[in-house]
Chains A and B, each alone.
Chain A
Amino acid sequence: MAEVSLKQVKKSFGAAAVIHGIDLAIADGEFLVLVGPSGCGKSTLLRMVAGLEEATEGEISISGKVVTRLEPKDRDIAMVFQNYALYPHMSVYDNMAYGLRIRGLNKEEIDQRVKKAAESLQLAHLLDRKPRQLSGGQRQRVAMGRAIVRQPAVFLFDEPLSNLDAKLRVQMRIEIKRLQRSLGVTSIYVTHDQVEAMTLADRLVVMNAGKAEQIGTPMELYNHPATLFVAGFIGSPSMNFFPANAAGGTLELPGGQRWTLSRQVAAQGDVTMGIRPEHLTLAGANSPAGHAILPLYVELIEPLGAETLVHGRLEGGKAELTARVDGEAAPVKAGSTMRFAVDPRHLHLFDRTSGARLQ
């Protein structure tokens, strides 16, 4: 049983506070993803769990044992680094066996574990090679193998796929998830790629400037982003935002359009409204009742095959909008005005100043 828990963990480098008190409880076998923009402190948080960075305040425990002040080797963790950090002077075999030898396992046991890991990672024929003789993807797998053979309580990953090309990244992403599922090892995974985050995570933590903005399953975060930041970060292309004015049950859009909301909104005054591009559908003659209609002046279209991205402006206003429509749908032409329909259920409202979600 390897749960990981963080209690009010803080970190400062000198006077600069980087992590401002993070609470997390990770269940045994869970795949937790830390996601956020560059510099938000993901790596720092992960490195504190690894013991490579000392927490300035707070408590970290693994499997019920407080490890805040322990050395990395006493924490029963394995880590996969962004640059893989393979020992360049050792063969693939020795790279994987290094940690086991230090732990004093006998030769047969080491050999068996390394061979087994190599088998499952398709590295069996590469065991005698040096890291420099491997491709990026193979190096990545060796780094994974080095983590697996140790049979640690927790896997830590710091952007392990960011040095791979797009296709390989998708392939390795699936491989990592499959491996984690079959081994059932508690994992913490850092990435700035929200697609990677959504696809891998049981739960994900969206971080922003050293704080956890929201913690939840990918679908929770997608459907109910707690803040403007999360709403903008999760989903691709990202959510459309524009200012609106709420009064009673009506919402006034920048173009002068008025919507009557079916659900009660407590908010009054200035709010920020959010609609995901995929929730804007081309309004036909018979749009379902209750759908709000947005007239969009189309400026640019990006056909992606299965779908088409439509970029435009809200008629009568400056607000920019992106819609994601079926690639086979009625032809959209740049320079024309088109009507889009939105199901009010897919409308997100946020406080203009605090950015908090309004129910």
Chain B
Amino acid sequence: MRKVGFNNKLLPYILIAPQLAVTIVFFYWPASQAVWQSFLIQDAFGTATEFVWLENYETLFKDPSYFNALVVTVVFSTAVAALSLGVALLLAVQADKHIHGAGPYKTLLMWPYAVAPAVAGVLWLFMFQPSLGVLAKQLRGMGVDWNPLLNGTHAMILCIIAATWKQISYNFLFFLAGLQSIPKSLIEAAAIDGAGPTRRFWTVIFPLLSPTAFFLLVVNVVYVFFETFGIIDAVTHGGPAKATETLVFKVFQDGRLGGDLGGSAAQSVILMFMVIALTAIQFKYIERKVHY
């Protein structure tokens, strides 16, 4: 047997260097910057900087608005992850029924399903617009005083819907690919074994889909934690009365607008550890129940 390998000891390092550089420049460097910043306090004019150890963190934990943001984040992320995964799965199951074995043009058939949520997202926002929106009017007709500009719950619902719609297409494509990779004969075997469609779904299809679902769960949680900032900024600006101010939005609000760089950095650091912890927990506990 001839052993195939690198003769040049340097070559492997050269090959991973670009990847390493990207990780350092875009993750480790800003992350360590954030950690460093979180130990500092700058005065309002940015002229004096003082090293204060954990004072920024202490202030943060004493701040009731920080806990408000935490609660908002938990509600928001749970709702968005559950809804976007649930709705995407439902759509994918429906699409899969029509697409099974449909041949080369199935990719084309898939597009409406994939694109619809994004288009619909915009429509939803229009429809819920308090003064002009069709749905808003209808809700008001039903006796609901729909006003996301004043009512925190309404604002939250609006943010959840907007963030969810944005994520559905992505989840949908993964779920559909997962469904398509389940051999048809398995479903048929279950049908012959006497399982109806619902039972087949929960005992055969869903367990086989769980690796996909798990992967999407991780991706979605990271998405809600970090990337929904833009949506909240566009839809509610975190209001009314901080009702939709999530942790990530608060980082932006305090850092950019409030000028509290140290406090904002401390928040980022906490957020970063939260996501690392969440992902670790997900891998440790949920993955164990996932059937590959």
Which residues of A are at the interface with B, using a C-beta cutoff of 8 A? 50-52, 71-73, 77-79, 81-83, 85-89, 98-99, 102-103, 146, 150
A71, B208: Cα distance in complex, Å:
24
- New A-B contacts (16) at CB < 8 Å, excluding given A71-B191, A77-B192: A52-B188, A72-B192, A73-B191, A73-B195, A79-B188, A79-B189, A85-B185, A85-B186, A85-B188, A85-B189, A87-B189, A87-B190, A88-B208, A98-B193, A98-B203, A103-B194
A99, B192: Cα distance in complex, Å:
8
Q: Is the CB of B192 within 8 A of A78?
A: yes
Q: Is the CB of A73 within 8 A of B192?
A: yes
A284, B208: Cα distance in complex, Å:
68
Q: Is the CB of B192 within 8 A of A50?
A: yes
Least CB separation from B186: chain A residue: A85
Interface hub of B186, B196, B208 (most chain A Cβ within 10 A): B186
- Once A81-B185, A83-B185, A102-B199 are accepted as A-B contacts, the answer to whether A52 and B191 lie under 8 Å apart by CB is yes
A-B contact pairs, 18 of them (CB 8 A): A50-B188, A50-B192, A51-B192, A52-B188, A52-B191, A72-B188, A73-B191, A73-B194, A81-B188, A81-B189, A85-B185, A87-B186, A87-B190, A88-B208, A98-B203, A99-B193, A102-B193, A146-B193
Interface hub of B186, B189, B191 (most chain A Cβ within 10 A): B189
B204 sits at the interface (CB 8 A): yes
A150 to chain B, nearest CB (A): 8
A88, B193: Cα distance in complex, Å:
15
Main SS at interface, chain A = loop
Least CB separation from A156: chain B residue: B192
Interface hub of B185, B195, B208, B291 (most chain A Cβ within 10 A): B185
B183 sits at the interface (CB 8 A): yes
A53, B59: Cα distance in complex, Å:
69
B184 to chain A, nearest CB (A): 9
B207 sits at the interface (CB 8 A): yes
A78, B194: Cα distance in complex, Å:
10
B118 to chain A, nearest CB (A): 33
Least CB separation from A94: chain B residue: B203
Q: Is the CB of A89 within 8 A of B192?
A: no
Residues of B within 8 A of A79 (CB): 188-189, 192
A148 to chain B, nearest CB (A): 13
A186 to chain B, nearest CB (A): 16
- Once A85-B183, A88-B208 are accepted as A-B contacts, the answer to whether A102 and B195 lie under 8 Å apart by CB is yes
Q: Is the CB of B191 within 8 A of A89?
A: no
Residues of A within 8 A of B194 (CB): 73, 99, 102-103
A88, B192: Cα distance in complex, Å:
17
Q: Is the CB of B207 within 8 A of A72?
A: no
Residues of B within 8 A of A82 (CB): 185
Least CB separation from B188: chain A residue: A52
Least CB separation from B193: chain A residue: A99
Interchain residue pairs A-B with the least CB separation, the first 3: A99-B193, A89-B291, A85-B185
Least CB separation from A147: chain B residue: B192
A56, B195: Cα distance in complex, Å:
24
Q: Is the CB of A83 within 8 A of B192?
A: no
Residues of B within 8 A of A77 (CB): 192
Q: Is the CB of A89 within 8 A of B185?
A: no
B214 to chain A, nearest CB (A): 13
B58 to chain A, nearest CB (A): 49
Residues of B within 8 A of A73 (CB): 191-196
Contact with A along B169-207 (1 / 0, CB 8 A): 000000000000001011011111111100100011001
Residues of A within 8 A of B203 (CB): 98
Q: Which residues of B from 23 to 78 have beta carbons under 8 Å from A?
A: none
Interface hub of B183, B190, B194, B207 (most chain A Cβ within 10 A): B194
